[in-house]
Structures are given as structure tokens and as C-alpha cells.
Amino acid sequence: MKEISELQFAEDVRYTDDHEWIRMEGDTAVVGISDYAQDQLGDIVFVELPAEGDTFAQKDEFGSVESVKAVSELYMPIGGEIVAVNEDLEENPDLVNNAPYTDGWLIRVKPSDPAEYEVLMDKDAYLEMLKGLQE
């Protein structure tokens, strides 16, 4: 597994304490999991995603990510309605491993309350959190 110094981060996103990231793109937001998360899980074999039209509150469980030996639940960084899911992940779940911040995106959300985005961690805060976990 990677050392902290080897981890990749995206600059234009915010992070949650269970390792999801969220990027605002106009009036919708894209969500995925961080490089740390995919590295911890190992080779991803299956991603369980919600349906378009489903609505969730912030911190609700919306799906899960499976590797060979582990499962991780996914939690909403902000509340809202699912407007799209990444259908490529059905055939190519490895996109989450290889491009966690770009092609490995999970869902696109229409936020119900954009203010929820503001309380999330930026890259520096997330990095600090990861260093804390190490100890």
C-alpha cells in the first residue's frame, strides 16, 4: 500500500472523513472515492450504485465498493437527488483504482443544500486527517 507521500489528491474537490470526494460542476456535483480509499481497498471488483432519481440526505449510505477481500459502504458528502451514475463501472470497476478523481467517478448529484459543501475538508485538512490516522 502507498505511503502518504505517494498518495494523489485532487485540488478542485472537497473531502469527507470517510474518504469520499466531491467536485461542484455548475448546479450539479460529482462524487467519488479518494486515492487513499482505493489503495486501502485493493483491486475493486464491484461497485453498487443507486438508481437515477433516488434521493438521499447528507451522510446517508448510497452504495458500496467491493474488493476481493473487503466491502466499504459509501456515504453522501451532501444531500440531494442522483442525476447520473457511472455506468462504465459495471464493466470496468478498475477505473476507480486507476483514475479515482476522473474516470472513476461514482455518482452525479443535484444538491438539495449547497451550503453542505462548505463544511467539508479541503485537500490540506484531509491530508492532516490522514496523517492523524497513521499514528
The residues that touch other proteins, with contacts defined as CB under 8 A, are 43, 45-46, 66-71, 93-94
Question: Least separation, in Å, of the C-beta of 95 and other proteins?
Answer: 12
Question: Least separation, in Å, of the C-beta of 62 and other proteins?
Answer: 15
Dihedral over alpha carbons 54, 103, 134, 14 (to 10 degrees): -60
Using DSSP's 3-state secondary structure scheme, residue 4 falls into: helix
Q: Which is nearer to other proteins, 21 or 75 (CB)?
A: 75
Residues in the chain: 135
Q: Which is nearer to other proteins, 57 or 71 (CB)?
A: 71
Question: Least separation, in Å, of the C-beta of 11 and other proteins?
Answer: 30
Q: Positive or negative, the Cα torsion across 135, 73, 115, 102?
A: positive
